[in-house]
Structure 1
Amino acid sequence: MGRLRATEKRLAKRGVAYAKEYSDQISDMVERGGARKLTTDQIKDYQGPVHYIPHHEILRPDSKSTPIRIVFNSSASYIGHVLNDYYAKGPDMLCDLFGILLMFRQSPVTIVEDISKMYNSVLLSEANKMTDRFLWRDMNTTREPDHYCLQTVTFGDRPSGVIAMTALHKTAEMFIDKYPETAAMIINNSYVDDILHSCESAEEALERMKTTEEILKREDSK
């Protein structure tokens, strides 16, 4: 609650438009399913572990769509407890960047793809949602804040990178029989949320892009 008040105070000093942009980003997160507001009964009835994490913004002046991005600090301490201390980081899932760049230059037609909101496309378990709770009240400091929980993987959690990359690879493996070359490209030529690849012709590149989108848009792969 103290961190929320400090955030509200800082946002108010930056002006109404700035505070509204922050609030809009949280509303967008809820609308996209990245977070949800908890009811009084859900808060009262849940019996598992609970943890609240503070949030703040980072500025992205080069981005026209999201000049402010909300991030969550899972390394913040509360009475000696740090959420990230309870997590293992997991193995290194990143492909070798040098190898990706070599393959990118191998053929004359290149593909550069970006997976939009990759982390926010991977759902959390119910237990993890409740340890990724946060407070917000749309800058209305005259009332008690609403309680929210994150629904999807967030940048702040220590194993988020491994979870997101594992989900990406598993999704591609679901299509290994139908689209073997595209599935292999996603697994071997991706670096976090970027995919770099080269093809022998424009037709091949367009087909590879089409099948990549088909694979990664599958809702049930979440």
Structure 2
Amino acid sequence: MFGQCYDLQQNCLGTFMTKLFDNDHAEEAPTIQSIQEQWFLPLFGVYHPQKPHQIRGVFDSSAKFKGTSLNDQLLSGPNLTNSLLGVLIRFRKEMIAVVADVQHMFHCFTVKEQHRDYLRFLWYKDNKIGNELTEFRIKVHVFGNSPSPAIATLGLRKIADMSEESHGSDVRKFIRRNFMLTTV
């Protein structure tokens, strides 16, 4: 039984990783000097109880090595999230409500190349389970990194500001006041 569960998880993680590579969100890591600073993130799968055959790959930025984690070293940035109470009250104010789910929101924002060595992970060469393990690195912000919510919120607000000229100030204000990023 354990073997079947392990095989299923590996296959589901393989599917998750295929999407990651196909979308150019990860790359094979270049060889670096041993003195250059780097960090490796453990990867594990998480299932939603209502979606037992769909897995979310999680890079664990909170995993500790020698008493510290990547998240311990990162600045989380300011809390830019709109207040839930304020959003809910404004949600009920009008006759029409708008709800959206941006799939892989954090993956919409790239990580500077000089910072990608802090997002290294091990995976199978050519994304074929059974091949030797190879070093890769993430090119986008990931769920679980402490700065990701602030970066995504800032990015959403910047897009709203940039679109003001073409879509009007009402759209910009609406997005800035009523959109709320959650990490559910």
Match of 1:121 in 2: 108
Structure 2: how far apart are the matches of 1:182 and 1:93? 18
Structure 1: how far apart are the matches of 2:155 and 2:35? 28
Match of 1:187 in 2: 176
Q: Please point out which of 24, 39, 47 is paired with 1:33.
A: 24
Match of 1:67 in 2: 54
Deviation readout 1:110-129 (Å, 9 max, x if unpaired): 22122221111111111221
Task: Tell me, yes or no, if structure 1 residue 99 matches structure 2 residue 86.
Answer: yes
Whether the aligned pair in 2 keeps the contact of 1:35 and 1:148 (CA below 8 Å) is yes
Structure 2: how far apart are the matches of 1:31 and 1:99? 38
Q: Structure 1, unaligned stretches of length 5 or more?
A: 1-10, 195-222
CA RMSD in angstroms comes to: 2.4
Whether the aligned pair in 1 keeps the contact of 2:9 and 2:45 (CA below 8 Å) is no
Largest Rg, 1 or 2 = 1
**TM-score calculated relative to the size of structure 1:** 0.72
Structure 2: how far apart are the matches of 1:82 and 1:15? 27
Deviates more, 1:16-25 or 1:153-162: 16-25
Structure 2: how far apart are the matches of 1:168 and 1:94? 11
Q: Structure 2, unaligned stretches of length 5 or more?
A: none
Whether the aligned pair in 2 keeps the contact of 1:115 and 1:193 (CA below 8 Å) is no
The size of the alignment, in residue pairs, is: 178
Give secondary structure in 2 for the equivalent of 1:110.
coil
Whether the aligned pair in 1 keeps the contact of 2:40 and 2:119 (CA below 8 Å) is yes
Give secondary structure in 2 for the equivalent of 1:178.
helix
Give secondary structure in 2 for the equivalent of 1:114.
coil
Q: Give, in angstroms, the shift of residue 83 of structure 1.
A: 1.2
Structure 1: how far apart are the matches of 2:153 and 2:34? 30
Give secondary structure in 2 for the equivalent of 1:105.
helix
Structure 1 residues 3-152: aligned runs within 5 Å: 12=3, 14-38=5-29, 42-44=30-32, 48-63=36-51, 67-137=54-124, 138-140=128-130, 143-152=131-140
Residue identity (%): 24
> Alpha carbons of 1:37 and 1:57: their partners in 2 closer, same or farther (altered >3 Å)?
same
Give secondary structure in 2 for the equivalent of 1:104.
helix
Structure 2: how far apart are the matches of 1:51 and 1:17? 28
Deviation readout 1:50-95 (Å, 9 max, x if unpaired): 111101111013248x721000111212234421121122211110
> Alpha carbons of 1:46 and 1:182: their partners in 2 closer, same or farther (altered >3 Å)?
farther
Structure 2: how far apart are the matches of 1:17 and 1:86? 34
> Alpha carbons of 1:12 and 1:127: their partners in 2 closer, same or farther (altered >3 Å)?
farther
Structure 1: how far apart are the matches of 2:66 and 2:182? 35
Q: Give, in angstroms, the shift of residue 139 of structure 1.
A: 3.1
Counterpart AA for 2:7: V
